[in-house]
Each structure stands twice: as C-alpha cells, then as structure tokens.
Chain A
C-alpha cells in the first residue's frame, strides 16, 4: 500500500472518526483504524468500529498501490494532528506503516488486519432520502433526554418513527421527555419505528452540515445504515418495545406561563449558583402578579430573583425543577419566548416554543422535584 495526501485534507476527513474508537479495550483490534487504499478508484477508506457502531469515511488520495492495514487509531490521530500543513506519504513496508511528512518520519507497527470485524457492504439501492438539516434538528431536540441507565436499555437510545407524511423522534429518562415531530414526504410504504443508540446519531449530528442537504437511510430489521457525504454509518438498533409515553403527557395543564427565554435562562443560571448539589433544585413561585425563582443550599446560603415582563394565566403555583434538566430544555427552545404549561406542583410540566412552525413542532415534559 502506498499513497499520499495533504495533511489538512486527511485531517478534516477523519477528525470525527476517533469518537467511535472504543476507549476500553475489550477487543484490542478495535482500537485500530482499518485503512484500505484502492488504486483503481483512487479512493482511500478509513473504518472505525466499536461493534455497535461502524463508521466508514471514503475520500480521494493519490494512491499508487492498493492495500489494507490496521493501525493504532490513537497513534495515527496524534501523528496527523501534529504534522505541518504539507503532503503526507504513507507506505507499508514489512508489516510497518511508514508515515513521512517533510522531515518527520514515523514507523508504526500494524495490527493483524484480518482480525478486524467484517464491515457490512454499503447498499444504496433501497435507501430513503431525508432532509439532513431537519434530521439534525430532530437529534438536537431529543438526544439530551436519553437515559444513561444500562439496565433499561430501550431508554438509552432515541425512538424514531418514520412514515410517509411525518416522522418523529422521542427520548426519555423517566424524568423528562423530549419529542420532535416533522412533516415530510418520504418514499416509504409503511411506517417504521426503531430505537437507535445515541452514539451513532450524535456522530451524524456532528458531521451534518449545510453543504450536503440530503442524508440516505436504509432501515433493516437488525440495523440501520446512514449514508451522508463521505460517511457511511452502520448502527445496531436497540431491541424492545418503546412504551406509550404519550399517556404520560398531561392534556389539562391550565397554568400557563410565557416569558422571554433568555431572561429566564439567565435568571435560572444565577439562582442555581446556590442550588443544592444533591437535587439541583430551583423553585418557581408564580402568581398573576409575580414570578420568583429561588434556591437554597444548606449551610451555604440562598438566592432568589424576581422576574418581570411575563404573562401568567392560572392558579398561584409553587413548583421545583432540577435546573440542569430545565437548562437542557431551555437550550433547545428556538423562539424568543417560552411557554410553560403547569398542572399541580407534583405533576409534569410541559414546555413549548411560542412561535409555531408549519414544518415541525417540539414539546418537552419535565417532572418536578418534590417540594419539602
């Protein structure tokens, strides 16, 4: 194998790939990139996998000899990042990968590339095409609500439902729910639903840009393939039935608060400085006349802030939230104002954008903290 490529070119193509390499070495071969060079197509292919997610990136290079090699992802990454902006030459000689750039010479020992897991074939024949920007928006609006509890795996991924006229993503960890719906025209005979692990979706979230408007998806029974620009991503899916979360969403939350999103976010940020480190609790005290946010940290102090310029329609209410969760919702609210619909102090509260969009809609639910 022998090829050369501009450092910047190589770096920009593989910069996100390292996130896929597993940090714990259950299988040492997985700490490597599989590099394949095809002389005829003049195409270079890098693959990283943790067995659950496989990412392949393909791009042009000056290839003078085809070949295949598995080499330490960490070493290669660090080497490439440290090189000057110049042409980098790669050559395999006696099972070693030689990397030369200007006056620097590296000699990397290679792993046995036949041990690298079998990579599925990219199949574009039955894919459906989706608007990439909207796909990214769905991930942005939901991924923060996934659970990290490995003993309930179905909640560690994002539930994705896709039909011909609309699709939606939902994530929940039992404390909050994030749902994002999208009106679309997709060429799909019947609705499909899958629970996709967050890791693969977050990888896509990173690489999606305005330059490439479409993303191709192939939904299979045991895995999903995404093809976007130079990238091909295979992700396994999480087995299990996602529960009917809509039952948990209250319909009669009639205490409605509307306030400027940034003002609320800044106030929460200040008050949270003296929130308990165990519960992250901030308290909302709302009536038609006043809206106060407060916090108390035992043995350290307390904080409160009165907000003005709000609209409130409902019964006086005192309700407490984990400010971290509250922030995660405020961060994805797009409109200038946020609408918060509350029921009672111990019932879930709902959060919405105030400006409606005819293409998509988002809603968020947050369970309050107990008032003591």
Chain B
C-alpha cells in the first residue's frame, strides 16, 4: 500500500454562483440560484450557500427551487466568466505539478508528491494554491490533502467553503469509520440501499465485513469497498481522459410533435457533433438517438456501422432513420439528442481487416427515403 503519495483535491466553492456574486456584488448574502429560469424546464446548476438553506441543490428542477424559495434570485450562468475563471485556476495548478486530473470545470485532483517548487509539505502547497486562486479570481476554493484521491476528496468536503483539511494516515481510520456509507466513493444510490439492507450504515460496519462476504454481494466492487474503507485507494491521477463518447442534446421550450421541427433540430445537432469530431480528429462507429417523451419516458436507439464516420450527412441520415423508426404516431417529445461512441482516432489500428477497393470507392448513398 502506498501511503507516501501526496494528493490534493481542489473544489471551487459554489462555483457558478460565486462567479455571479463576484461580478454582481448586489447578490451578496442573498439566495442566488444559477441555472434555468423558474418558469422554464431548466435545472439548478449551482446555488449560493444562502439558497442551500432552503433545501435547494444542483440538478433540482428550477420550478421546484422556485417553490422552495420564491424570493430567490434566478440567473443564467455566465459561461464566459466561468470558463475564464476555470482556466486561470487550472493554470495555477500547473505551476505546481503537471499531474492534474480535472474532474469537472470546478474540481480537480493534483499529485504533488514531486512538484515543480520542491515543497515537501502538501498542506503548504494547498494553502498557496488557495491563496493564489483568490488573488487572481476573487473566488474561494476548498482543498483536501491526503495520501490518496478518495481521502483527499473527503477532506475537501469537510470544511466548505474556503476550507483546508488534511487527513494524515493516522487520522484516516477514524474518519473513515464515521463516514456514512453513501459518502464512500463508488457507492451510489443502488449500492447504498443494498449496503443498508445488509446492515452496513457506516465505514465501521463496512470494515467489519470480510472480503469474501463483500465479493459475494458486490462482485469485483467488493474488493474495492474492502480496500477503500481501509484507506487503500491506489487510483492514479489521470491527466488526460480518453474521450469515449460525444453527445449533444436539446430540450424544447415546449413539447413538440412536428416531425419536421424535430428533423431541423436533428440536423443542427448533427452539424455540431460532426464539426467537433473533425476538430478533434476522431470518427465514430456508433450513433445513438435519445428521445425524452412529454411524459418523461426516455428511450434511446443505436446503430453501429462497420466503418467509422464523421460526416454530418451520415450522422443526420442515420439519426433521422433511428428517430423515425422509434417515434410512434403523434408522439410529443421534450428532448432530442444525438451521441456518438465507439470512437476511432487517427492512427488507431484496431481494424486489421483489409477491404476490397471497389467497396470503398462506391459512393455512399445519402439519398432520401420515403417518409
């Protein structure tokens, strides 16, 4: 087991809301909800700590947030300002180490075991990063320091906002034993329910179970749970994630049933994805159409081709076919999306099969079929 790594987890505090308050000081100290408008179908992206007191949280539908806090201030996120701040923060990380794993726009892990400034105490680095972030963006971040990713993340959450918590190996056991089972990394809603059913409510309960028992109930994940409750998490910092899919979707302001309108949107989405694929130099073999009906039923249909594609026409043609095949008559839908997966990058040599020339020389038929 490695206890000699030094990992920092940095999490911006109520990031979208904080950016908004920084740029509009009149919102300070008020319940601010960043995300969709209350009369729209949007959801809450982030909210200020004042708004959280009303029980509002991210991903909650905006109209529900409005019910909880009608006098709240609802604003749309200022993506330009958010992106700018995020880039500044990321640049600060790289002043200390190249081992940075971005989790999302406002969160990252850093491995500072060896760092560019030769600082031996990770807490000192965490503190410097926090200060520098505030200096350059006027925003606060919470940091957690420990010897693995899981503990560093727990640490960063322990004293929000503007916190800095260190979990040394000597304190890890105590903290892990007290941790509610749902807060463990890798335990989602389903596993949490199963754990509770098995009488496991905290880290302490989990620790009492044998490895064999955990494997019996959770398969491979059992080993992971067994280790993690003992503070063992050897997951490395992944500096660049390999993209596995790319998608784009659109929620309509009003449910629509007009097929032509759907196809217009589908065409726009196809164009967007195609451009992004070309820009990032990859093709895909699988296309998935996602439809959310007015009653919130969600369906998706996929098609995989033998040859990887990136052209808008193919995306649209296939997407259209899948959409029309799926759609019942007079269906009302609220959301339409496309995504590509099974990605093939330039230089990938996954397909060893040689092809006859006349096949690839044959024009692709993109002609219209009957409606």
Q: A residues near B, CB below 8 A?
A: 24-26, 28, 147-155, 172-175, 177, 240, 243-245, 247-248, 278-279, 281, 320, 322, 346, 348, 365, 367-370, 372
What residues of chain A lie closer than 8 Å to B121, measured between beta carbons?
none
Q: Are A248 and B349 in contact (CB under 8 A)?
A: no
Residue from A174, A244, A248, A368 whose CB has the most chain B CB atoms within 10 Å: A174
Chain B window 344-371, contacts with chain A (Cβ cutoff 8 Å), 1 for yes, 0 for no: 0000011111111111111011100000
In the complex, B209 has a CB within 8 A of chain A: no
Q: State in angstroms the CA–CA spacing of A372 and B360 once bound together.
A: 23
What residues of chain A lie closer than 8 Å to B351, measured between beta carbons?
279
In the complex, B211 has a CB within 8 A of chain A: no
Closest to B317 in A: A151
In the complex, B199 has a CB within 8 A of chain A: no
Q: Are A172 and B352 in contact (CB under 8 A)?
A: no
Question: A151's contact among B326, B354, B366, by CB below 8 Å, is which?
Answer: B366
What residues of chain B lie closer than 8 Å to A173, measured between beta carbons?
306, 359
What residues of chain B lie closer than 8 Å to A244, measured between beta carbons?
358
Q: Are A151 and B353 in contact (CB under 8 A)?
A: no
Q: State in angstroms the CA–CA spacing of A147 and B358 once bound together.
A: 14
Q: Are A172 and B354 in contact (CB under 8 A)?
A: no
In the complex, B221 has a CB within 8 A of chain A: no
- If A154-B362, A244-B358 are given as contacts, then 4 extra A-B residue pairs at C-beta distance below 8 Å, sorted by A number, are A151-B309, A153-B365, A172-B359, A370-B352
Closest to A325 in B: B353
Q: State in angstroms the CA–CA spacing of A216 and B307 once bound together.
A: 38
In the complex, B217 has a CB within 8 A of chain A: no
Chain B window 310-343, contacts with chain A (Cβ cutoff 8 Å), 1 for yes, 0 for no: 0000100110010011101100000000000000
Q: State in angstroms the CA–CA spacing of A370 and B326 once bound together.
A: 38
Expressed in whole angstroms, the minimum distance between the Cβ of B101 and any Cβ of chain A is 26
Closest to A246 in B: B358
Expressed in whole angstroms, the minimum distance between the Cβ of B11 and any Cβ of chain A is 37
Closest to B354 in A: A367
Q: Are A175 and B325 in contact (CB under 8 A)?
A: no
Residue from B314, B349, B364, B365 whose CB has the most chain A CB atoms within 10 Å: B365
What residues of chain B lie closer than 8 Å to A365, measured between beta carbons?
356
In the complex, B158 has a CB within 8 A of chain A: no
What residues of chain B lie closer than 8 Å to A147, measured between beta carbons?
306, 359
What residues of chain A lie closer than 8 Å to B349, measured between beta carbons?
370, 372
What residues of chain A lie closer than 8 Å to B358, measured between beta carbons?
174, 243-245, 247-248
Q: State in angstroms the CA–CA spacing of A369 and B317 once bound together.
A: 30
Contact status of A367 and B325, CB under 8 A, knowing A151-B365, A152-B365, A372-B349: no
Contact status of A155 and B359, CB under 8 A, knowing A279-B353, A369-B353: yes
Q: Are B355 and A175 in contact (CB under 8 A)?
A: yes
Q: Are A248 and B365 in contact (CB under 8 A)?
A: no
Question: B364's contact among A152, A247, A348, by CB below 8 Å, is which?
Answer: A152
In the complex, B305 has a CB within 8 A of chain A: yes
Question: A175's contact among B309, B356, B357, B364, by CB below 8 Å, is which?
Answer: B356
Question: A28's contact among B329, B355, B366, by CB below 8 Å, is which?
Answer: B329
Q: Are B356 and A367 in contact (CB under 8 A)?
A: yes
Expressed in whole angstroms, the minimum distance between the Cβ of A287 and any Cβ of chain B is 23
**3 closest residue pairs by CB, A with B:** A174-B359, A369-B352, A370-B352
Q: Are B353 and A175 in contact (CB under 8 A)?
A: yes
Q: Are A368 and B354 in contact (CB under 8 A)?
A: yes
Expressed in whole angstroms, the minimum distance between the Cβ of B342 and any Cβ of chain A is 12
Contact status of A240 and B324, CB under 8 A, knowing A245-B358, A248-B357: no
Q: Are A320 and B352 in contact (CB under 8 A)?
A: yes
Which parts of B297-313 form the interface with A (CB within 8 Å)? 305-307, 309
Expressed in whole angstroms, the minimum distance between the Cβ of A53 and any Cβ of chain B is 15
Q: Are A177 and B353 in contact (CB under 8 A)?
A: no
Q: List 15 A-B pairs, Cβ < 8 Å.
A: A28-B329, A148-B306, A151-B366, A154-B365, A173-B306, A174-B355, A175-B355, A175-B356, A177-B356, A243-B361, A245-B356, A247-B358, A279-B351, A322-B353, A365-B356
Q: Are B353 and A367 in contact (CB under 8 A)?
A: yes
Q: Are A150 and B352 in contact (CB under 8 A)?
A: no
Contact status of A172 and B362, CB under 8 A, knowing A26-B325, A149-B307, A151-B314: no
What residues of chain B lie closer than 8 Å to A370, measured between beta carbons?
349, 352-354
Expressed in whole angstroms, the minimum distance between the Cβ of A369 and any Cβ of chain B is 4
What residues of chain B lie closer than 8 Å to A278, measured between beta carbons?
350
Q: State in angstroms the CA–CA spacing of A372 and B349 once bound together.
A: 10
Question: A150's contact among B321, B324, B355, B361, by CB below 8 Å, is which?
Answer: B321
Closest to A371 in B: B352
Q: Are A279 and B352 in contact (CB under 8 A)?
A: yes
Q: State in angstroms the CA–CA spacing of A281 and B326 once bound together.
A: 36
Closest to A322 in B: B353
